[in-house]
Structure 1
Amino acid sequence: DGAILDTPGEPATSTLKDRLCHGAYPVHEYNGIVFAYLGPPEQQPPFPIYDSFERPGYRVIPGRKYFYPCNWLQILENAMDPVHTAFLHTIVSGSQFTDEFGKVPELDFVETPVGMVYVATRRVGENVWARMVENVLPNLQQVAPIWEDGRREHPFDGPMMSRWIVPQDDTRTMFVEFRHVSEKENVVTPGWWADRSVMLPGQLPFSDSHEESQRHPGDYEAQVSQRPVAIHALEHLGATDRGVTMFRQQLRRGIRAVQSGDAPQGLSRKAGAVIPTYCNDTVVRVPAAPTPEEDRQLMRTTGRALAESYLKDPPSMKA
C-alpha cells in the first residue's frame, strides 16, 4: 500500500516514514507470475481468467522472460501474419517447427469478442489442418502448438503458449509467458516444452554474427530488423497482411473507446468470469476437391466453418 516501513540512517525520533509514502500499485499472483495493475484505481477490473488457463487435463507453468529492442506493436503484428510461418520458420531457415509449416496456407481472419484469430488451413493428405493463432486485446498472444503436423485427426486442442507482449517504452519490449503442458494420455506435449530453460525456436538472436543471423533468421531478426519503431509510411502491405490491418483497426477502436470514456473491446468487469478464447489446431478429414482451385476454396470454407463454430460454442473448457 506504499507504507514506508523503515528509514535506515534517520534518527530514531524521525517521523519521515510516517509522513511520506511510496507510490504503489496493486498486484495479483497467478500460476507463478505476479501481475501489476497500473491504471486508475477506480477503474481497476478483475484479473482476467481466460478459459485456456483453466483447461481440464493441462497444467500452466511460467515460461521464460525475455526482451526485444523494438516496439511492442510490431511483435504482436507478427502473430497475425500466418504466411511467415512458411517462409521464415521453414523455407528460409529450415524447419524450425515441423516440415508441414512449409506449405503456404489458405488464409482467413476472424474477429472474436476478445480480439482476433488468423485461420491458416493446409492440406495434409486426406486431412485439412486448421491452425488458429490469437491476439487477445490489447497485448496477449496465444500460439497453437508448433509440433503439429496435421497428420492425425483431432478436435480443437487449445494453445501451447499464452504470452504478454509488454511495452517497457517505445523501443523496448518484455515477453512474459505461460506454457500449457498436457497431462492427458492422448495429447502429448514434448518434454522440452515443460523445461522453462529451453526456448521456443527463433525467439532469440540466432548468432552474434550479423551475417549468420541474416542467413538463419527467426522471429527476433524479423521483428527487430524493422527498426526500433517500424515506420508504417514505408510499408507496402499485401493481400496476406489483412490480419495486420485488422489488428491495427482493432487497436484504434480500443484507443478511441478509452478516449471517449468507454470500455475497450475484450475488457471484462465480471469478477470470477471465465473468458472464452479461440487459439487452437484442429485436424479434420476432408478429401481433396477435384481441382487445385476448388480445393483451396474447400480449405478456406472448412477453416471458416470451424472458426465460426468455436465462436458460437467455445470448446476450451470442455473435458
Structure 2
Amino acid sequence: MLSAADNELLTRTGPGTPMGDLIRRFWIPALLASEVAEPGGAPVRVSLLGEKLVAFRSPDGSVGLLEARCPHRHASLFWGRNEEGGIRCVYHGWKFASDGQCLEMPAEPEDSSYRERVRAVAYPTHEAAGIIWAYLGPAELKPEFPDFEFARLPEGHFHASKRLQRCNYFQNVEGELDSAHVQFLHRTFGGYEAHGRVSLKSMDETENPVYTIEESGAGLMCVAERPYPQGGAYWRVTPFLMPTFTMVPSMVEAHNTFTAAIPIDDVSSWGFTITWRPERPFDEADWERDLGGLTLHVKVDPETFIPERNRENNFLIDREAQHTTNFTGIMGTRNQDLPVQEDQDGAICDRTTEHLGTTDRAIVAARRLMLRSAKSLQKGTEPPQAQNSAAYNMRSFSGPGTADQGWRELWETAQPKSTQPVS
C-alpha cells in the first residue's frame, strides 16, 4: 500500500505538481496525426496534464501546439484561423507562430514593437508512427526524441490508436505491468480462431509465476517466469519506459506493442497504443484478425474517442459468455482491461487500503521509481532516462525457453539489431 501523501504525489499531474513536472521532462503522445491531417485545416482541442491546448497543422505541414488562451484577452485559439505562418485569433486578429511568437497585432500602431514582447505558450512537437508527440518541459532541457523502433518505420508497418479512459493515468500503467492478471482477466475457454486472441490453455495456469524486476536505462524490466508443460519455462518480459510507457508482450505472434498512459487531468487519461511490425506491412487480414478491436486496440467514437464498449453500456458484458466463452464475458483484450481499471475504487484509487501480494512486484517497483524520480527532481536531480534516447529502442518478449535459458538471453534475441544493453 502507499501512504496518503505518496498516493497524492503519484496521481496529481497538473502544472506545478512534482509528478506533473516529472512527466513534462519527457516526450509524450499528444494526439493522433490523423486529428490534424489536413495542412491549413481546423485547429483541434488538446488536453494534457491539466493544460488546455490547441493543435493545428500549418499550410506547410508542420504541427503547432499552443496554449488555448490567446495572450491578449484569453479568447480560445480553437476558434482561430489557421493561416500561412501561424494561427490568428478571431477576437482581435493577433497572429501567433508555432513557436508562440506574436507575428501581428493589426489594431496596434504600425510602428509599435509590442508584438515582439508577446508570446503564446507553445510546445515543441514531433510526428512519428501516426502520433503527434509533445514536449511540455523546460526548453533548455528538451531531450532528443526517444529512439523507438516504430518511429523509424515506413507507413503501413505500424498502427496507432487512441482511447479515452475515465480514470487516473496510473491505474492504466499498473494494468499494463500486471502479468498475473493475464491468466484470469484475459483467459478464454477456446482458441485464438474462436475468440480473437491466444488461449492460455497451453500454459500451466495453476502454477504461480516467479517475478524478477531490474532497472534499465529507460525504466524497468519486469519479468514473469512460469513453468512450461513441455519443459523449461514460459517467459513474459514487459519493459516499463519512463515516464508512463510500456512494451506489452503481444498475444498475437509477430506483432510488437507500445502503450502510453497520458494524463488529461487527474481523473481521466488518454490511452495510446502503437502496434508495429518491421518485417512487412500490415494487410487487410491483419486488420480483420488483430487490429480491429479484439486485441490491444479498441473501437471508439471518432469524435470523442470514448470506447464503443463503455461504462454506460456495462462494456456489453455477456453473462452467458462469461461461463462458456471467456473469463469476463467481455470481448476484446483491451475491452476487458477498461472496466476493472475505470472501476478500481473510482477515478483515483485509494492505495492506502490495498493488500498487495507477490504478483504485484512490478507495480510496486514502478511506483517506487516514479515517486523517487519525482522527489529527486524537486531537489534538482533531473531524470536520467529522459536523456537516454538509445535505451528506448527495445521490444518486449513472451515465449518458452529451455531449462538452461534465462530471460535475458531470450529477450536479447528478439531485439532490434541496434538495441543498447539494458543497464
TM-score by structure 2 length?
Answer: 0.57
3-state DSSP of counterpart to 1:35: strand
Partner of 1:290: none
For 2:416, the aligned partner's letter is: S
- How many residues are aligned here? 289
Partner of 2:365: 246
Q: RMSD of the alignment, in Å?
A: 4.0
For 1:213, the aligned partner's letter is: I
**Residues 62 and 179 in structure 1, CA contact (< 8 A), matched pair in contact too:** yes
Determine the C-alpha separation between the residues in 1 that align with 2:382 and 2:288. 36
Determine the C-alpha separation between the residues in 1 that align with 2:379 and 2:357. 32
Q: Unmatched 5+ residue regions in structure 1?
A: 149-156, 287-297
The structure-2 alpha-carbon separation of the partners of 1:264 and 1:103, relative to structure 1 and needing over 3 Å to count, comes to: farther
Determine the C-alpha separation between the residues in 2 that align with 1:49 and 1:98. 30
Determine the C-alpha separation between the residues in 2 that align with 1:283 and 1:53. 29
Residue number among 359, 382, 407 corresponding to 1:306 in the alignment: 407
Determine the C-alpha separation between the residues in 2 that align with 1:189 and 1:236. 45
Where do residues 287-298 of structure 1 align in structure 2 (5 Å cutoff)? none
Determine the C-alpha separation between the residues in 1 that align with 2:342 and 2:91. 45
Residue number among 337, 352, 358 corresponding to 1:219 in the alignment: 337
Partner of 2:238: 133
Alpha-carbon displacement from aligned partner over 1:110-147 (angstroms, at most 9, x marks no partner): 22221223323341424633221221111111112212
1:162 matches 2:261: no
For 2:349, the aligned partner's letter is: A
Determine the C-alpha separation between the residues in 1 that align with 2:414 and 2:220. 14
Partner of 1:192: 287
Alpha-carbon displacement from aligned partner over 1:88-116 (angstroms, at most 9, x marks no partner): 00069996631126643623232222122
Q: Give the deviation of 1:213 after TM superposition.
A: 3.2
For 1:45, the aligned partner's letter is: P
1:15 matches 2:108: yes
3-state DSSP of counterpart to 1:14: coil
1:317 matches 2:414: no
Q: Which has the higher contact order (CA 8 A, sep 6+)?
A: 1
For 2:234, the aligned partner's letter is: W
Determine the C-alpha separation between the residues in 1 that align with 2:106 and 2:369. 56
1:114 matches 2:218: yes
Residue number among 398, 403, 414 corresponding to 1:281 in the alignment: 398
Determine the C-alpha separation between the residues in 1 that align with 2:210 and 2:355. 19
Q: Give the deviation of 1:232 after TM superposition.
A: 0.3
Q: Unmatched 5+ residue regions in structure 2?
A: 1-63, 67-84, 94-104, 299-306, 320-328, 331-335
Determine the C-alpha separation between the residues in 2 that align with 1:138 and 1:13. 42
For 1:47, the aligned partner's letter is: F
**Residues 81 and 240 in structure 1, CA contact (< 8 A), matched pair in contact too:** yes
Residue number among 268, 273, 277 corresponding to 1:181 in the alignment: 277
TM-score by structure 1 length?
Answer: 0.74
Partner of 1:228: 347
Determine the C-alpha separation between the residues in 1 that align with 2:350 and 2:91. 50
Determine the C-alpha separation between the residues in 2 that align with 1:65 and 1:82. 22
